[in-house]
Amino acid sequence: MATKKAAGLKVKLVKSTIGSKKDQIATANALGLFKIGDEKIQPDNAQTRGKINKISHLVEVTQG
């Protein structure tokens, strides 16, 4: 039986969180992004999309 890979989003931090609001920094940390260049694959759901929307100016998103 073949296993199907779950759809996800690859999120990469491309700008520093220095100078950002505390809630934006917390959102980046919740996504597992701590330093510039960090990449994480997150599930493609409403919660993740909301987090990405909040820090869209700091991240780059691709299908993962």
Domain of residue 26, CATH code: 3.30.1390.20
| Domain presence at residue 46 | yes
| pLDDT reported for residue 3 | 58
| Residue 6 pLDDT level (bands cut at 50, 70, 90) | low
| pLDDT reported for residue 64 | 78
Q: CB–CB of 41/8 below 8 Å?
A: yes
Q: Which domain holds residue 36?
A: 8-63
| Residue 17 pLDDT level (bands cut at 50, 70, 90) | very high
Count of domains forming the chain? 1
pTM of the model: 0.87
Q: Which residue has the tokens 């992004």?
A: 33
What's the pLDDT tens digit per position in 23-47?
999 999 999 999 999 999 999 999 9
| pLDDT reported for residue 7 | 81
| Domain presence at residue 3 | no
Burial (Cβ within 10 Å: 0-12, 13-18, ≥19) of residue 31: buried
| Residue among 44, 40, 47, 38 nearest 13 (CA) | 38
